[in-house]
Chain A
Amino acid sequence: MKRLKLFPISRRAKDLLAGKLMLLLTILAALLVLLMVAGLYLKSRPVLASQPLAELLFSTKWRPFRGQFGFFPFIMGTLWVTGVAVLIAVPLCLLTAIYLSEYAPARVREWVKPLIDILAGIPSVVFGVWGMLVVVPFIKDSVAPFFKVFSTGYSILAGGIVLAIMIFPVIIHVALEVFRAVPQEVREASLAVGATRWQTVKHVVLRKALPGVAAAIVLGIARAFGETMAVLMVVGNVAKVPGNVLDPAYPLPALIANNYGEMLSIPLYDSALMLAALILLLVILLFNLLSRAVLARVERSIR
Chain B
Amino acid sequence: MDRRKVEEGIFRVLMVLATGLILSSLVMILLTVLVKGLPYLSLEMVTQTPRGGYYLGKGGGILNAIIGSLYLAGGATLLAILFSLPVALYLNVYSRPDARFVSVCRLAFDVLNGVPSIVFGAFGFTLMIYFGLRASLLGGIIAIALLILPMLIRAMDEVIRLVPRELMDASYALGATRWETALRVVTRQALPGILTAVLIAFGRGIGDAAAVIFTAGFTDAVPTSLLRPAATLPLAIFFQLGVPVPEVQGRAYASALILTLLILIISVAARRLSRRLTRHVVK
Q: In the complex, identify which listed stretch (A50-58, A62-70, A127-135, A238-246) lies at the interface while the others stay far away.
A: A127-135
**Chain A CB within 8 A of B253 CB:** yes
Q: In the complex, identify which listed stretch (A142-150, A152-160, A175-183, A282-290) lies at the interface while the others stay far away.
A: A282-290
Interface of B, secondary structure class, is helix
The number of chain A residues touching the other chain, given as a range, is: 35 or more
| Chain B residues closer than 8 Å to A15, beta-carbon distance | 177-180
A29 to chain B, nearest CB (A): 5
| Chain B residues closer than 8 Å to A197, beta-carbon distance | 8
Residue of A nearest to B135 (CB): A260
* CB contact between B115 and one of A29, A39, A226 (< 8 Å): that residue: A226
The 16 listed contacts between A and B (C-beta, < 8 Å) are: A12-B177, A21-B86, A26-B90, A40-B119, A95-B17, A100-B19, A103-B15, A116-B26, A122-B29, A125-B238, A133-B32, A134-B28, A168-B25, A226-B119, A256-B122, A285-B111
**Chain B CB within 8 A of A235 CB:** no
Chain A residues within 8 Å of B, Cβ to Cβ: 11-12, 14-15, 18-19, 21-23, 25-26, 29-33, 36, 39-40, 42-43, 91-93, 95-96, 98-100, 103-104, 112, 114-119, 121-130, 132-134, 165, 168, 172, 196-199, 201, 219, 222-223, 225-229, 233, 253, 256-257, 260, 273-274, 277, 280-281, 284-285, 287-289, 292, 296
B216 to chain A, nearest CB (A): 11
Q: Is the beta-carbon distance between B22 and A19 smaller than 8 angstroms?
A: no
CA distance A124 to B32 in the complex (A): 15
| Chain A residues closer than 8 Å to B259, beta-carbon distance | 123, 125-126
How many B residues face the partner with a CB closer than 8 A?
A: 84
CA distance A124 to B209 in the complex (A): 8
| Chain A residues closer than 8 Å to B150, beta-carbon distance | 29, 32
| Chain A residues closer than 8 Å to B146, beta-carbon distance | 32
CA distance A32 to B123 in the complex (A): 11
Q: Is the beta-carbon distance between B126 and A260 smaller than 8 angstroms?
A: no
| Chain B residues closer than 8 Å to A25, beta-carbon distance | 83, 86-87, 90
